[in-house]
Amino acid sequence: MSKVEKDKVIEIHYTLRRADGKIEDTTEGEPPLPYLHGAGNIVPGLEQALEGRSTGDSLSVTLTPDQGYGDYDEGLLQEIMLESLPVGTDLSEGDEIFLLDDEGMEIPGVVERIEDNTLIVNVNHPLAGETLTFDVEIANIRDATAEELEHGHAHDPYSESDEDDEEWDEDDEDWDDEDWDEDDEEWEEEEDDSESKPPR
């Protein structure tokens, strides 16, 4: 029987609860979540707890912030002048906003409050500083494909976007291999015929 170990794709059903018992997220009624073990796709405490487990195993794991989404960091409250936002931007407390880091990557944040002409945006993870409990069942374990290892994450077999990508690739391949060549060939033939005919 396969065990959870590095470079395996693990599919899990889970329910995530805050310390007060409130359910934050769950796969109940949905397909399991696939992830690539050892690639940092899930929080470190949960990944460590799953190590060596087998298909069908169930476990409940309570994680402190350092094992989950990290401690809450006051230094991750960013100040943005309202005048620097595009004209017509209307934001309120609790609204989501995306900031850009030094490399141009988007960082999600939440408007914490508005002071005078300044937005205070919190870019901590929404669950930072929280003690969390994961109730987990391992639904499946398989070897990762070479492509998944290269990309550093599992490809979700239940995702419609993956199916769309495959269909697009097939259509694109057909267009390249057949339609374009045939059309191009016909175009050349028509051009040759026109050159061989005398003017009227």
Q: Calculate the alpha carbon distances from 127 to 24, 58, 91, 167, 181 in Å.
A: 9, 23, 22, 37, 54
Same domain, 116 and 141: no
pLDDT over 90 at 122, yes or no: yes
> Is 1 domain-assigned?
no
Q: For 132-182, write each residue's pLDDT tens digit.
A: 999 999 999 999 999 999 999 999 887 765 544 444 444 444 444 444 444
In the chain, what are the helix, strand and coil shares in percent, each to the nearest 5? 30, 30, 40
Same domain, yes or no, for 178 and 193? yes
Mean pLDDT of the chain: 84
Task: State how many domains the chain has.
Answer: 3
Q: Is residue 3 part of a domain?
A: no
Is residue 150 helix, strand or coil?
helix
Calculate ∠ Cα 48-137-57, nearest 5°. Answer: 75
> Going by C-beta distance under 8 Å and a sequence separation of 6 or more, which residues neighbour residue 91?
85, 97, 111, 114, 119
17 with 114, same domain?
Answer: no
Judge if 115 and 134 occupy the same domain: no
Same domain, 150 and 165: no
Same domain? 23 vs 58: yes
- 30-69 pLDDT, tens per residue? 999 999 999 999 999 999 999 999 999 999 999 999 999 9
148 shares a domain with 167: no
Cβ neighbours for 66, distance < 8 A, ≥ 6 positions apart: none
Which single residue is written with the structure tokens 């290892």? 149
Question: Residue 84 maps to which CATH number?
Answer: 2.40.10.330
| 3-class DSSP assignment, residue 57 | coil
DSSP type of residue 110: E
Give this prediction's pTM. 0.71
Q: Are residues 53 and 136 in the same domain?
A: yes
CA 27 to centroid of chain Cα atoms? 16
Residue 140 and residue 57 share a domain = yes
Domain containing residue 52: 8-69+128-154
Res. 12: pLDDT tops 80: yes
User: Are 35 and 78 in a shared domain?
Assistant: no
